[in-house]
Amino acid sequence: AQTVTQSQPEMSVQEAETVTLSCTYDTSENNYYLFWYKQPPSRQMILVIRQEAYKQQNATENRFSVNFQKAAKSFSLKISDSQLGDTAMYFCAFMKHRGASGSRLTFGEGTQLTVNP
Amino acid sequence: DTGVSQNPRHKITKRGQNVTFRCDPISEHNRLYWYRQTLGQGPEFLTYFQNEAQLEKSRLLSDRFSAERPKGSFSTLEIQRTEQGDSAMYLCASSLPLPSGNTIYFGEGSWLTVV
């Protein structure tokens, strides 16, 4: 079974600064996907960024980028130029590449990020 | 593309009553998922469908829970004889099949409060 761990229950950052959210996972799979989802107070889960494990290049989406360390099973999210609208709960999630439970997401416990003006 | 739609958005029910939630996935998505999320926790997988077939069920899905997806379109999640521990947000999501469907899109959730 896969597990995802987010060791930072809460973080805060000043507007316009950079913050990094940590995530580690445990799996025996070689091919898989990793995700960061954002859940604002409205509660809708919104995809932030996706990483395929077979790709060595770290994914980037505008102000969001990841540091994917496959050997260390680490997948951190960096948010640059933080904005007030980034305030949300952030979840790291794992998905197997294939098989009976392929496409089932396993989520971490979440990190509540607050961006202060 | 109207996104994943769930209703009702909020439901308050008395313990012992039955409740049903509906989910309409994104139109071209043939995979549909149900997750449960309690306050302060990440979502937990309940079950998923590919078209009308229910391919996997979590051990969290007790006998009081049943999910259906007739004709492979919308899905319903019914909870019978509700208990206070069922109070949670029930999230529906959809995707294309792998490998194209490596992104799962979520609805806004249905809040259940059992009193």
Structural contact between residues B107 and B77, judged by C-beta atoms closer than 8 angstroms = no
pLDDT tens for B86-107 read 999 999 999 887 666 668 899 9
Residues 6+ apart with CB under 8 A from A20: A67, A76, A77, A78, A79
Give me chain B's average pLDDT, please: 91
Mutation target among B98, B105, B111 for the A interface, most CBs of A within 10 A: B98
Cα–Cα distance between A66 and A56 in angstroms, integer? 11
A:B CB pairs within 8 Å: 63
Closest residue to A109, CB basis, from B31, B41, B108? B41
Chosen from A45, A96, A98 to mutate, greatest number of chain B CBs within 10 A: A45
Chain A closest-CA separation from residue B68 CA (Å): 18
- What pLDDT score does B101 carry? 60
Please write the tens of the pLDDT for every residue from B35-79.
999 988 999 999 999 999 998 888 888 899 999 999 889 999 999
Q: How deeply is B66 buried, as exposed, middle or buried, from its count of CB atoms within 10 A (0-12, 13-18, 19+)?
A: middle
Chain B contact probe: residue of A103, A111, A112 with most B CBs at under 10 A: A103
- Give the integer Cα–Cα distance in Å for A53 and A117: 36
pLDDT given for residue B37 in this prediction: 95
Residues 59-88 of chain B with CB under 8 A from chain A are none
> If you count them, how many residues does chain A have?
117
The per-residue pLDDT for range A51-83, each reduced to its tens digit, is 999 888 999 999 999 999 999 999 999 999 999
Nearest residue of A to residue B47, measured between CA atoms: A104
Chain A CB contacts of B95 under 8 Å are 103
Cis link prior to B99 (omega < 30° from 0)?
Answer: yes
Predicted confidence (pLDDT) at residue A100 exceeds the cutoff of 60: no
For A41, the closest chain B residue by CA position comes to B108
CA distance B11 to chain A (A): 16
